[in-house]
Structure 1
Amino acid sequence: MTRSVTTLNQKVNVSDLASSLKGNKHMSFPVLDDKGYCGTINRIDLIQLLQHRELFQLPDEPQRTDVLKFHSVHTDKVHDDEDLILDSAIEHGSEKNLYILPYTNRSSIALPDSFSLHRAYLLLRTLGIRVLVLLDDRNMPSGILTRKDLMGFAVEEKLQASITRSLSESDPNSKNQ
């Protein structure tokens, strides 16, 4: 589990965003509004948004009401030229902001940080979720849990099933004889 969570505010400085993306390889980021956690946005979508300079705004400009359509922002392909995009955003975005709330996944699943680890594993496995955001009592992200973090549970589960099978096969009182 990642405890040092990199969060993004709903309105973020373009240069700071690009520097943050360049400084880590996280694939998903919790987004905060004035009430705390409000969803997640993935790295690929952020890189896509950084290519649309028409979305950048000066700090004193009113918030844009026109947003790009989902299909023009979202892609499943990782950018080969990610470093060039980030470098350009760092260079040209120091005075500009980007409003990311319209592109945030508001239906992403978040759990209290006291939630059972085993149940979190079951959620990740059965629902096919890649990332779970853990929240503290103030609705602020306190950690991020990924499938990779819980791979030990999968190994334990398979080993236990294998041991149980082996024991039942070697049991002389087993009904399989």
Structure 2
Amino acid sequence: MVVEITNDVQSLLLIMLAVMVAKMVGDFFSASLYSSLLRLKCIPYLDVEPFVHHRRERLNLELFSARDVMEPHVRVLHLRENIASLAWLLASTSHGGFPVVGRPKPDHAQVFQGTIKRLELCMLLENEHIFEPETSNESFSFSHPLTYEKITVEKLPKPSRLAVLLNRYTTDPRYQQLFINLEPYINKSAMSVQAHFSLQRTYIIFRTLGLRHLTVVDLQNRVVGVITRKDLMPLPLEERLRLQLSPQSPDAGE
């Protein structure tokens, strides 16, 4: 801009040098306005590289695993979910998404099938015609599922109406006998990592793909935890890794 105003091309190198030096000096003495606004608004922004220190030494995240930072107490949903239980879960939690588990075969254990967002669950509960009564087996009819456009929204159109519906579903006894089939609506392409997966690579995957939730599974593909963006922020990450590095008590192995 200065060159265009003055039409002095000969001073271009000096102008660029002055701007670069001014920026370096400003960054050295204070954080950028952009970073300050992110912290002020509590936006969970992840840096390109995680900088975690312990006793003034930078930790190598390759030496840690996903289980070290995951939240082990996970609220999971089933492919065949009760309406009253689902409404109570949405009313009592603020989670943005949930892992969904199911049995590949009747005699198998519940394994990870995919994830579903909170907004999608809310939109499903506003359509009572897809509710089905309890049956003796786990089979469901797939007739007339809702379209992708109908359940994928950025925000709830009528939050007050949803609050009324959740209250009715949790208090009316007849909804304890009704179920919903979540299989047509879950994200079966959702990422998951095993519990022993490298924490450094977990961070890279999470940030590169722009994830909000990352499910952690064991060797049998059973859900054992979940990692959210806030778990990978510098301070929470440092706190959890400090617990892993703290010396165990003398009677810990007894």
Whether the 8 Å CA contact 1:47–1:85 is kept in 2: the answer is no
2:147 pairs with one of 59, 62, 69 = 69
**Aligned twin of 1:60:** 135
Identify the range of structure 1 (85-94 vs 143-152) with the bigger mean alpha-carbon deviation.
Answer: 85-94
**Aligned twin of 2:243:** none
Secondary structure of the structure 2 residue equivalent to 1:19: helix
Structure 1, unaligned runs of 5 or more: 157-177
Normalising to structure 1: TM-score of the pair?
A: 0.81
Structure 2, unaligned runs of 5 or more: 1-69, 105-110, 239-254
Q: How does 1:89-100 map to 2 (within 5 A)?
A: 89-90=169-170, 91=172, 93-100=175-182
Q: How does 1:24-173 map to 2 (within 5 A)?
A: 24-35=93-104, 36-60=111-135, 63-66=140-143, 67-78=145-156, 80-81=159-160, 82-90=162-170, 91=172, 93-152=175-234
Distance in 2 (CA, whole Å) between partners of 1:44 and 1:33 is 21
Normalising to structure 2: TM-score of the pair?
A: 0.57
**Aligned twin of 2:17:** none
**Aligned twin of 1:172:** none
Question: CA deviation digits over 1:81-110, x for unaligned, max 9?
Answer: 242231122225211000011100000001
Amino acid of the structure 2 residue aligned with 1:76: E
Residue 135 of structure 1 and its aligned partner are, at CA, apart by 0.1
Residue 23 of structure 1 and its aligned partner are, at CA, apart by 1.8
Secondary structure of the structure 1 residue equivalent to 2:100: strand
Distance in 1 (CA, whole Å) between partners of 2:124 and 2:141 is 14
Question: CA deviation digits over 1:51-85, x for unaligned, max 9?
Answer: 10001100128622121111011111045224223
Whether the 8 Å CA contact 1:5–1:144 is kept in 2: the answer is yes
Secondary structure of the structure 1 residue equivalent to 2:121: helix
Distance in 2 (CA, whole Å) between partners of 1:42 and 1:86 is 17
Secondary structure of the structure 2 residue equivalent to 1:93: helix
Distance in 2 (CA, whole Å) between partners of 1:69 and 1:7 is 24
CA root-mean-square deviation: 2.1
Distance in 2 (CA, whole Å) between partners of 1:85 and 1:42 is 18
Amino acid of the structure 1 residue aligned with 2:178: K
Q: Which runs of 4+ in 1 moved over 4 A?
A: none
- Asked which structure has the greater CA Rg, the reply is 2
Question: CA deviation digits over 1:98-155, x for unaligned, max 9?
Answer: 00111000000011011111111111111111111000122111111011110118x9
Identify the range of structure 1 (119-128 vs 46-55) with the bigger mean alpha-carbon deviation.
Answer: 119-128
